[in-house]
Chains A and B, each alone.
Chain A
Amino acid sequence: MIKVGLIGTGGISRNHQAAWLKLKDAEPQAEIIGVADLVAERAQEAATRLGISRWTTNYLELLDWADVTAVDICTTENTHAQIAMDAAMRGKHILVEKPLTTTLSDADHLLEVVSKYGVSLMPAHTHRFYDYSRSAKNTIDSGEIGTPIYLRYCSGGGFWRQDWSGNRISPVETGGNVLTNGVHIADLANWWLGAKPISVYAQGRNLTSSHLEMYDYFIMTIKYDNNATAVIEMSRANMPRSNSFMSINVLGTEGEITSGTEHNSQRLHGDDGFKFVGPDYQHGFDREIRAFANALEHQEPPPVTGAAARLAVAMCLAAERSIQTGEVIILGKDF
């Protein structure tokens, strides 16, 4: 039985908790045995929800609980590096929410420590575990569309459901929208295309408010060593905020696959007008956490590597730089 300490109980952690709960009676068996959160009420609430008694406001205390063999880090982005290093140095295996870190030096340092202490590290790139992404990957790998040479991924949406007190619009805490959300699809693009990114060009806007210090809209153009191009567009700036438009297109040398809202959603004509009702997204978390537990159980390398997560961080930091300078950023130099 894998015994997990959960660090961070808000936001995305709720999806992780639901996934861990499903593993209690499944194979491999795993359970959360303690939680840590800076806010006592939140920690206590999560413990109650999980049916456990141990909670703390200090994650270092959680790391000292001897029966904890692995941690699941769901804290704010800029705290991932320190917490993960502390966990590694205490011999705990690590599932860490994306982005791996908010700087490249942190990523390099963390990967060194992980390697030195011989623990398993799996970055939570959930998009590798969704039905949509796996079916696409399988189709690409089967050769059905030849070699993929153009990927366009558009994820539209309205502004975050928060006000100035929320941390989603804090560039310091999140590392910026391009990083924290862009890494998902940067990693997905690398995985689907199976090629090495060589340069990034990006454009960004802060449309919702001129006082916003991050880009609520960005589009990045990635060039690969096999000359393929990936275009990743993510919006939190659409109006009306109900906009949930999404489209994905992968063009190969011998074919093409397309999905997105017009292909994956049900259509509700209700009292409030027309609405797309998209598929469930919990299954990605369920599968991701099961994959992590499975890797630990069988002492296998986790399916997403630290190196892959570092590369996604590098691409998104390069994109941030590109937005600021207006220039193409070559990867491998500073990034």
Chain B
Amino acid sequence: MAAQKLKVAILSMSGQQASYAPAFYDNPRVEVVAITEDESPAPETVQRNRETAQKFGVPYIEKLDDVLAREDVAVVSLCSTLERRVALAQKIARAGKHILGDKPLTNTLAEIDAIRQVVDASRSKNGERIKFMVGHNYRFNPAILQARQLLQAGNAGLPWAIHSDWVIAAGKRAAPVGEFRNHAMYPLDAMLYLVASRPQTVYATTGAFFFENAKAGGVEDMGFITMNMDHGIIATTSLGRSPIQNHLNGGSGDMTIRIMGTHGMLVVDANRPHWLVYGKSGAKNMYYGPNRVYDMVDHFVDCVLHDRSPMCGLEDARNALEVTLAALQSAKENRVIKLPLQ
């Protein structure tokens, strides 16, 4: 008898769902059973929900409660506006469904803790722990996975510094929550993972340099974070979104991480492997490696099917958010912030 497919509901075609949903849909071990929504979504989200449902050939079930009541649905891919996310995550966990949660998961550490409390106390219909994975998809970038393997095997010796430049390009406007909250978790999560150590202090600078909406909204579109970590590791990353429209890596911009260790140095470029293309439309680097979102979703499916803890859980989301919040405070006050945040 063929194995039963994992039944997944897609909650709201907002946030990063545009990349998560196809990754579920195309996964051979998954059956997407419905697109669903929570209360009062934006009209354009409803439109996307309907279109996706049609494209996938599945029903659009407008009430999340109706989906959560279904015994056969095991997983919910959770995207929503940030302010509804805690309540939704708790509700889905209480219904015994596993969750892939969009990033940034929450605004505050207390909110992550509130989610974790409910997730820890809840069980699936099979009596298993709820698997909660957060969409830190760069953890699944092949260059970063490969780097972790190289470091773990001691190829650079003991790491003593890790430096990243993470400035995405081709921006038209800043993320309304600011670029730190929007995507600092990508390089931060990757860095903490790569050197397997915890940060102790954070210093940062930020500014609204590129986009009118960042200036008007009082949020940053670019900044720099430097940390002291356990084992004396110095860790830094630039972080932002530039308006450069002709970057060779397109919107991916610069995504590099350099690790220096007692016996060597490793330079990782998340935009590799690529072809350098001089085409009719101009010059560009054309990435040709595995799709990190597909690999992330596949890992999550694996964890749900085999009752294993996913790689990027609530603890990882909390760690990245803690540094992000410390960095924002540091930049505001031009001083060093000690972790853990009180």
Please determine whether chains A and B interact with each other in the same assembly: yes
B77 at the interface (CB under 8 A from A): no
A221 touches B224 (CB 8 A): yes
Q: Residues of A contacting B254 with CB < 8 Å?
A: 249
A156 at the interface (CB under 8 A from B): yes
B242 at the interface (CB under 8 A from A): yes
Supposing A205-B160, A249-B165, A256-B242 touch, asked if A327 and B226 sit within 8 A by C-beta, the answer is no
Q: Residues of A contacting B243 with CB < 8 Å?
A: 253-254
Q: Interface 1/0s, chain B 236-267, versus A by CB < 8 A?
A: 10101011100100000010001011111101
B197 to chain A, nearest CB (A): 14
B336 touches A203 (CB 8 A): no
A326 touches B201 (CB 8 A): yes
B228 touches A203 (CB 8 A): yes
A219 touches B226 (CB 8 A): yes
Q: Residues of B contacting A239 with CB < 8 Å?
A: 157, 261-264
B209 touches A149 (CB 8 A): yes
* A156 partner, pick from B167, B207, B265, beta carbons under 8 A: B265
* A219 partner, pick from B167, B234, B238, B265, beta carbons under 8 A: B234
A276 at the interface (CB under 8 A from B): no
Q: Residues of A contacting B240 with CB < 8 Å?
A: 150
B262 touches A207 (CB 8 A): yes
Could you tell me which residues of chain B, from 302 to 342, have a CB within 8 Å of some CB in chain A?
Answer: 334-336
* A253 partner, pick from B167, B210, B223, beta carbons under 8 A: B210
Could you tell me which residues of chain B, from 196 to 222, have a CB within 8 Å of some CB in chain A?
Answer: 201, 203, 205, 207, 209-210, 222
The interface size bin for chain B is: 35 or more
Cα A253 to Cα B160 in complex, Å, equals: 32
Closest A residue to B234 by CB, please name it: A203
Q: Residues of A contacting B335 with CB < 8 Å?
A: 327-328
* B265 partner, pick from A221, A228, A243, A328, beta carbons under 8 A: A243
B224 touches A229 (CB 8 A): yes
B154 at the interface (CB under 8 A from A): no
A238 touches B265 (CB 8 A): yes
A251 touches B242 (CB 8 A): yes
Cα A162 to Cα B280 in complex, Å, equals: 54
B264 touches A201 (CB 8 A): no
A231 touches B236 (CB 8 A): yes
**Which of B160, B209, B232, B267 has most A Cβ within 10 Å?**
B209
Could you tell me which residues of chain A, from 205 to 255, have a CB within 8 Å of some CB in chain B?
Answer: 205, 207, 217, 219, 221, 223, 227-229, 231, 233, 235, 237-240, 243, 245, 249, 251, 253-255
- Please report B residues at the A interface, Cβ cutoff 8 Å: 157, 160-161, 163, 165, 167, 201, 203, 205, 207, 209-210, 222-224, 226, 228, 232, 234, 236, 238, 240, 242-244, 247, 254, 258, 260-265, 267, 334-336
| Besides A152-B238, A245-B265, 20 new A-B residue pairs in contact (Cβ under 8 A), listed by A number | A150-B224, A154-B258, A156-B260, A201-B203, A205-B232, A219-B163, A221-B224, A223-B205, A227-B205, A227-B207, A227-B209, A231-B224, A231-B238, A235-B260, A238-B260, A239-B263, A243-B265, A326-B228, A326-B336, A327-B336
| A to B CB contacts below 8 Å, 20 in the list | A150-B238, A150-B240, A156-B265, A201-B226, A203-B226, A217-B160, A221-B226, A223-B334, A229-B224, A233-B163, A239-B263, A239-B264, A240-B263, A243-B265, A251-B222, A251-B238, A253-B210, A256-B247, A326-B201, A328-B336
